[in-house]
Every structure is written in structure tokens, then in C-alpha cells.
Chains A and B, each alone.
Chain A
Amino acid sequence: MTTMLRSTPSKHARKATGLRGRPLLRTSYDQDLTLANTPAKRRSVIALVIASFVVPFLLTDDLLQVLTLGMISAVGAIGLNLVTGYAGQVSLGHAFFIGVGAYTGAVLGGDPDGALLGYGLPMWIWLPAAGVVAAIAGLLVGPLAVRLRGLYLAIVTLGLVFLGDHIFREARNITGGPGVGRRGAELELFGIDFASMEPISGLSRGQAQFFLGLVFLIVFAILGRNIARSGVGPAFGAVRDRDVAAAVIGVDLTKYKVMAFAMSSFFAGVTGALYYAVIGVFEPGAFSLLLSIQYLAMVLIGGVATISGSIMGALFIALLPRISQFIAHYIPGELLTVFQLEAILYGLLIMGFLIFEPRGLFGIWTRIRNYWKGWPFSY
């Protein structure tokens, strides 16, 4: 890992060129492909990770849960960004794959004595299994993407959401049915019960779940970044930008499109399983078109075809209800209740963002970064 994070030329290369201290000059593909390709990136990523581990000691549990759920959905957003951002295949079907993962997780990891189907398997089985089952669903859908693109693909994947919605509503011994729902999988890993209200070696439930979410996000963010920076990422980009040209230069369209769907679904599956295990209770209505749209919003608000953008977008969307709640309390009004105001603000914030900052949070970040890069001569 440490060697991957390093971006300075190898000893051999340094000796040959004397390029020490010129971080932006790359003399090999290896350097270009490293995980963090500038020292600043390396340092800031490490600082960010350390800072994230401090966060739980500063915030209250209710806010921590919002952030935990945000970090978990960030993995789903990375998944959607792989298929939609990197590979350019518009998918409205993300909610379906999240649902498949959520129910796989809940069935495999659910209470075996409960009213609904549950096998009580440990987390290290149900979490990957949720991803795998969702990925299989993605593999089945993938071939459709080979034949369709753009809006047509969007409509077909939209169909998936309705199909899933119907199945989830009717399969009541698995899902509990609409208006009732079921409990998610049991959050127990290495003998630690993350759902317990008792403090876990001094950590509250909110803190423990935050760490779980953080580790989960780090693992999948690195995985996502690795997919994007290895050969697969550029192949996805070629498919997105001009699929005919990509085919001509030897990119196997079928393979990469199916791969994009399968990978994205895997991310969605694990997200679904963990997200609803943390939430505790969920009902089939959760996996509607709205959820797909929400994930698309995360990708668009965060930044298309960026991993860090997906994370920022997911955290933003997760915090949005809290932000609008906060603002709504300061707007006096007799006509609307706080709850109606919250709903309206939520919509306005999304619209405002796309109008004023179409490049997303990642765009804002780039601008801030460039400002400080040239400081004090930035203009």
C-alpha cells in the first residue's frame, strides 16, 4: 500500500533524471497510475482519514448516524458513478440493485426466530453475499446495455425499478410487505454487536457504527479508485466518449458494459445490505424511483466520474434533510409547516446546485485547490 501511495520516482529513476521535488513531472506510466499521484494528494488524504477518525468524538450520535448513512450511501454512489459516470451508461435502476442487496442481506443475516425469513448468518457472509447476488442481477441486465444506450437504456433500467417494486411488495415472507417492512441484518462483526445500545469498549452505538461505516467506505473507495485508475477505467471512458471508436481500437464493448453493470451492482448490493442493517427497519416502498434519482443526484452534485465527488455528493445528500430542517426553523411562516418547508428546500437546494455549480462539489473543490496552489499569486 505504501509503495502504491508513493508518487515520487523510484530511486533508480531519481538517480537517472535528478527529478526529485518535481512532483508534477511524470516519467513513467506507473507514476501516473498511482493511487495518490501528487505528494499534496497523499498528505491530504492521510490528513482527511485521520480527521475522519476524530469526528465521532466531536459530534452527537444522531448527527453521527446521518454521517454514517452518508458514508454507506457513498459506496452506492461510487457504484453508480462507475456505470454512469465512468462508463457513461445511464442507469435509473440503481434502486433495484440496492433493494436486491438489502433483502439478500436481511434474509441471510436476519433473525432466524423472527416472523420473516432469516438465516442469522454472520456479517462476513451476508455482506459480500449481498454484493454478489446484486452483481449477478447486474450481469443479467448488462447485455441489455450492449444493445441500447442513452435514453433507451434509461427507460429499460427504469423498468427494472418497477419490476423490483412489484416483487418487493408481493414477496411478503421476505419483505414484510408495504406499510410493515422488516428488520435488516444483524450488525455483528468479530463478536461486536454494532446495534447494541450498551457502550462497546467505551464507544457509543453512534460512534461504533460511524467507524464501521468509515472503514467500509475506505475499503470500497480504494476499490473504486483502483478500478478507475487501472486498465478498466480508461476502457470505461472510451466506451462512454465514443463507443464506436472504442470498439475500433479494440475495447470489447460487451465485456466492459456488462462489467460496468456487474461492478456497479456489487457496490449497490453491499450498500443496500449495510445501509438498512444500520437503519434497522425498512419497507419495500424504499426502493422506488426516488431512490434511484437520489443516487443520480449524489453523482451529479458530487461530480461525474470522480470517486471523491461521489463521496462528497453522498454526504451532501445525506446531510440535506438536516440542513433544510435547520434553515426551515429560521423561516417564519404561517402558510407552511416546518415539514413542508423542509421538502421544498430539499428540492430548491438540488436545483440551485445544478444551476450554479454544474461541475458539482468536486468542481468547487478543484477551484479552491487551484486558488491555494497559486497562492499568494492566485487571481
Chain B
Amino acid sequence: MKQHRKLARVVAGAAVAALVLTGCRGGGDDTEAGPGVTEEACPEAVNEDNGCIYLGAISDLTKGPFAPLAVPITEAQKAFWDKVNQDGGVGGFDVNIDKYVADAEYNPEIHNKKYQEMRNDILALGQTLGSSQTLAILEDMKADNVIGVPASWNSAWDFEDQILQSGANYCFEAMNGVDWAVANRGVKGKVLAIHYPNDYGGDAAAGVEAAAKANNLDFKAIETATGQDNQAGAVAAVLKEKPSMLYITTGPAEMATILGGAAAQGWKGTVVGSSPTWNPALLQTEAAPALEAMYFQAGPWGPWGTESDGHAAMRDALADVDSPSDGYTAGWVWEYPLLAALKAAADMDGGITRENVVKAATELDSVDYEGMLPDEAFNQTGEPNDVAWRQSVISKVDKEAPTGVSIEQEMQAGPTAEGYDYTEPCFALG
């Protein structure tokens, strides 16, 4: 027993000592380029002679509602930068998005905490998942000159220079979803927006409301909390209101619970979900038949199986993946603007520094997405009303497709989104 105690004490002591020593101040990690960029090669570098750029990723990897999507997103982003490194890196640097990965459980508080932990060590955020979560750290990001790739599509990002958003935001996506359903599914009467009570849900609901108004539909919004156990209220609301269409903006499991629950009690209609509401694993659940009959996904770009150079490169890089999901697709597409900003900063005076990357990002007027999105989908240089990307795709459930969905309507903007006067974000809490 005594021996054990001694051993335990030695181990604990060593752990604490190591912790203290690794945290020592003035380690001299920073080169002249500043935080997140080192002359030293990355750990397990592809190009040993290159320096290293560290990107942070604050994601939802275990307990949160988007973990089934966020784990693939994070994997795809690693694969993306691995490919960049294999092609020689950026401006003499390899890019590492492996060292500073944090799990924030889709919680703004933990998100902020994780950002504080890595803020001095990263050049930029390769992923910051969630709308409210990213808003929680936005002020600090601005103070630090850190740009971020959001793992979300929010109309607020079109008005923020330091957030590099790809594809149409939830608000336009919802308008396109409703316009499509009215034109192609004969929706009339009432549309119900069921959404999380946060910036993600609010943004989509604002889009649904605008589209409902344009199409002369009755509109009602129902808020619902995270967690499959908390959806009884939403199901009851569907049965009471008897809408002809639902627009759902939750996590995948919550969407399936609501749709499945309402269908089981006899509700029929069209359901369109925001892009994060789909996860191919839903086809293994009891709700699968109802999903096949009624569910459509509004999304910013084609799913995994789409034909384009970028999609093909992604499938190559992720050839080992057993069960593809469009988390991979999103994670991959999102990184293109960051790559473009890093390339542009590398050519500037002073090379890749936080300041130069911010400057380069604000001057980007197009991004080479290798065909996954049109190049002009990304433009930071004009007024959002002129340059914001408004086109979405609509996908249907397709058991044969690799990620369980295939395109129903190719990329386009509906009349509501086209005509929307976009001088401020669709939605802001408070």
C-alpha cells in the first residue's frame, strides 16, 4: 500500500511538474511573423524544410447535437490541409490543423474558453462551429486579428470581414427552400418554422418568414431545444397547427424526431430542413420511411457524390472513409477561402502574419473552389446586398446515394432570395 502511495505521488508530482514546465513563459515559439507561424517544421511534417502555420479548430466532437457532422468536418479539414501540404504547402509553410483541435460541445461558454486557450498559438481558426458560439468569440477574434472559417452559414457573417463564409447563409437557404416547395410541392396555407432558439435557428426562421410573406403563406415559428427528448412540444405544435409545410432548423436527430413523431400521428406534408439537419445515419432509424416520403434538404452545394474537380479531389483524399457524410463535403469546401487568403498574404510585404491574412481576406473578390461552388460565390469586396451569394441546392432522400441524398434541384436562387433587400443580417438576437 505504502509503495503504491509513493508511486501515485511520484506520478502525480511528475504530471504537475510537466504541466508547469510545458506551460513556461517565454518559450520562444514565436518567430517574427507572430503567433501561429513558426520557422520550425510542423509535427509529423510532410515537407520537413517548410515552416509551420497552426490553425485552430473549435468544434463539436462528443456530446453536442452536431457531433455526427462535426467529426467528419474536422477530418475533412485535416485531409484538405494535408493535400495542400503534399502539393508543397503555402508560401514556404506547411499548414497544421491537428494540434489545436478543441471540443466545445456546441456551447458558447466552452467555445469561448477553448478560444482563450489557443488564442496565442494560432494564426487563424480553420473551424469555429456554430453561430452563437462564433459570436461569443467574435470580439476577441477582432482584437486579435484572427480570421475564422465558420462551420455554419449565418447572415451575420456576410457583414463581418473576419469570418470567411462559403455558400448561401441559412436565411437565403430557407427562402430558397420555401420558394422551391411552393413551386414544386404545391405548398399553400401555412408554413411552420421549427428552430433552435439561437442564432442558427433564428436566421433560418427569418428567411422562412420572408419567403412566406412573398408567397402569401401563413407563418408561425416554434422554438425547440436541443436533445431528442425535448421534441414533444414541437410535435404537438405540428399536430395542432396542421401546416402544409415544415421548415426545420435543428440538429439531425431532432429533425428526425419531429418529423417521425408528427408522421406517426398522421401528419402529412413537405418538410424542408436547413443543411445541418441531415445525417445519413438517419436512414437507419425508425423515421426512415417518413423521411423518404417527406424530407428535403436545402443546402449550399452538391453532396459528396457530385461531379466536380473539388468533389473528386475530396473523395480521393478521403478514400479511406467507410461511411461518407456531407460533413466531409462541408468541411472541405469551407477551407478554400482560407487557402486563398493565406496564398494572397504570402505574396504581401511581411508575408503570412495575422494582419496580412486579415487584409488579404478582406480583399478577396473570388475564390477557386475547384468547381464545388462558382468562383464568384465568395466576394468580400462589395456591399453584401451586391455580392452576397444567394443560391442553394435542394436535395431529396436517396438511399442509393453515398450520403443518402441526391440533388433534386440544381443550384439557383429563388425569387424571394433574389429580390431580398440585404442591408443588414436577417436576424439578430435580443
Contact between chains at A180 and B108 (CB < 8 Å) = yes
Could you tell me the distance between the alpha carbons of A62 and B25 in the complex, rounded to whole angstroms? Answer: 10
* Chain B residues positioned under 8 Å from A116 (CB to CB): 430
User: Which A residues, 26 to 81, have Cβ-Cβ distances below 8 Å to chain B?
Assistant: 57-63, 65
Kindly specify which of B113-121, B154-162, B344-352 makes contact with the partner chain.
B113-121
Contact between chains at B196 and A179 (CB < 8 Å) = yes
Count A-B contacts at CB 8 Å: 102
Q: Is B20 an interface residue (CB 8 A)?
A: yes
User: Which B residues, 96 to 137, have Cβ-Cβ distances below 8 Å to chain A?
Assistant: 103, 106-109, 111-113, 116-120, 132, 136-137
Q: Is A19 an interface residue (CB 8 A)?
A: no
* A339 contact from B62, B140, B199, Cβ within 8 A: B62
* B23 contact from A59, A327, A356, Cβ within 8 A: A59
With A179-B132, A180-B198 already in contact, the answer to whether A59 and B20 are too (CB < 8 A) is yes
* Chain A residues positioned under 8 Å from B119 (CB to CB): 62
Contact between chains at B132 and A181 (CB < 8 Å) = yes
Q: How far is the CB of B234 from chain A (nearest CB, A)?
A: 15
* Chain B residues positioned under 8 Å from A319 (CB to CB): 16, 19
* A356 contact from B5, B24, B109, B113, Cβ within 8 A: B5
Could you tell me the distance between the alpha carbons of A109 and B198 in the complex, rounded to whole angstroms? Answer: 24
Q: How far is the CB of A219 from chain B (nearest CB, A)?
A: 25
A261-295 to B contact mask, C-beta < 8 Å, 1/0: 00000000000000000011111011000000000
* Chain B residues positioned under 8 Å from A172 (CB to CB): 197
Q: Is A337 an interface residue (CB 8 A)?
A: yes
* B106 contact from A59, A177, A179, Cβ within 8 A: A179
Interface size on B, residues (CB 8 A): 42
* Chain A residues positioned under 8 Å from B196 (CB to CB): 179
Q: Is A115 an interface residue (CB 8 A)?
A: yes
* Chain A residues positioned under 8 Å from B61 (CB to CB): 337, 339
Q: How far is the CB of B429 from chain A (nearest CB, A)?
A: 6
Contact between chains at A180 and B199 (CB < 8 Å) = yes
Q: Which residue of A lies closest to B428 (CB)?
A: A115
Contact between chains at A179 and B226 (CB < 8 Å) = yes
Q: Is B225 an interface residue (CB 8 A)?
A: yes
Q: Which residue of B lies closest to A61 (CB)?
A: B120
* Chain A residues positioned under 8 Å from B23 (CB to CB): 59-60, 62-63
* A281 contact from B106, B136, B428, Cβ within 8 A: B136
* A58 contact from B24, B62, B117, Cβ within 8 A: B24
Q: Is B144 an interface residue (CB 8 A)?
A: yes
* Chain A residues positioned under 8 Å from B199 (CB to CB): 180
Contact between chains at A326 and B108 (CB < 8 Å) = no
* B198 contact from A58, A179, A280, Cβ within 8 A: A179
Contact between chains at B430 and A281 (CB < 8 Å) = no
Contact between chains at A114 and B430 (CB < 8 Å) = yes
Contact between chains at B136 and A181 (CB < 8 Å) = yes
Could you tell me the distance between the alpha carbons of A42 and B161 in the complex, rounded to whole angstroms? Answer: 56
Q: Is B313 an interface residue (CB 8 A)?
A: no
Q: How far is the CB of A111 from chain B (nearest CB, A)?
A: 10
* B197 contact from A114, A178, A280, A337, Cβ within 8 A: A178
* Chain B residues positioned under 8 Å from A65 (CB to CB): 116-117
Q: How far is the CB of B207 from chain A (nearest CB, A)?
A: 19
Q: Which residue of A lies closest to B226 (CB)?
A: A179
Could you tell me the distance between the alpha carbons of A115 and B225 in the complex, rounded to whole angstroms? Answer: 21
Q: Is A230 an interface residue (CB 8 A)?
A: no
A165-178 to B contact mask, C-beta < 8 Å, 1/0: 00000001100111
Q: Is A343 an interface residue (CB 8 A)?
A: yes
Q: Is A197 an interface residue (CB 8 A)?
A: yes
User: Which A residues, 151 to 208, have Cβ-Cβ distances below 8 Å to chain B?
Assistant: 172-173, 176-181, 197
Q: Is B15 an interface residue (CB 8 A)?
A: yes
Could you tell me the distance between the alpha carbons of A177 and B197 in the complex, rounded to whole angstroms? Answer: 8
A311-339 to B contact mask, C-beta < 8 Å, 1/0: 00000000100110011000000000101
* B116 contact from A62, A176, A282, Cβ within 8 A: A62
Q: Which residue of B lies closest to A280 (CB)?
A: B112
With A62-B117, A281-B136, A322-B19 already in contact, the answer to whether A179 and B430 are too (CB < 8 A) is no
* Chain A residues positioned under 8 Å from B18 (CB to CB): 326
Q: Is B281 an interface residue (CB 8 A)?
A: no
Could you tell me the distance between the alpha carbons of A301 and B22 in the complex, rounded to whole angstroms? Answer: 25
Contact between chains at A180 and B62 (CB < 8 Å) = no
User: Which B residues, 195 to 223, have Cβ-Cβ distances below 8 Å to chain A?
Assistant: 196-199
Q: How far is the CB of A52 from chain B (nearest CB, A)?
A: 14
* Chain B residues positioned under 8 Å from A356 (CB to CB): 5, 8
List chain B positions with a Cβ less than 8 A from chain A: 5, 8, 15-16, 18-20, 22-25, 27, 61-62, 103, 106-109, 111-113, 116-120, 132, 136-137, 140, 143-144, 196-199, 225-226, 428-430
30 contacts between A and B (CB under 8 A): A59-B20, A59-B23, A60-B25, A60-B27, A61-B120, A62-B23, A65-B117, A115-B429, A176-B429, A177-B197, A178-B198, A178-B226, A179-B196, A180-B132, A180-B197, A180-B199, A180-B429, A197-B143, A279-B112, A280-B140, A281-B137, A283-B109, A285-B107, A323-B16, A327-B15, A337-B62, A339-B61, A339-B103, A343-B62, A356-B8
Report the 10 A-B pairs with minimum CB-CB distance, sorted nearest first: A115-B430, A63-B23, A281-B136, A179-B198, A281-B112, A339-B103, A181-B108, A180-B132, A197-B143, A282-B109
Taking A62-B23, A180-B198 as given, write out 11 further A-B residue pairs in contact, using a Cβ cutoff of 8 Å, ordered by the A residue number: A59-B23, A62-B117, A62-B118, A63-B19, A280-B136, A282-B109, A283-B108, A323-B15, A327-B15, A337-B62, A356-B8
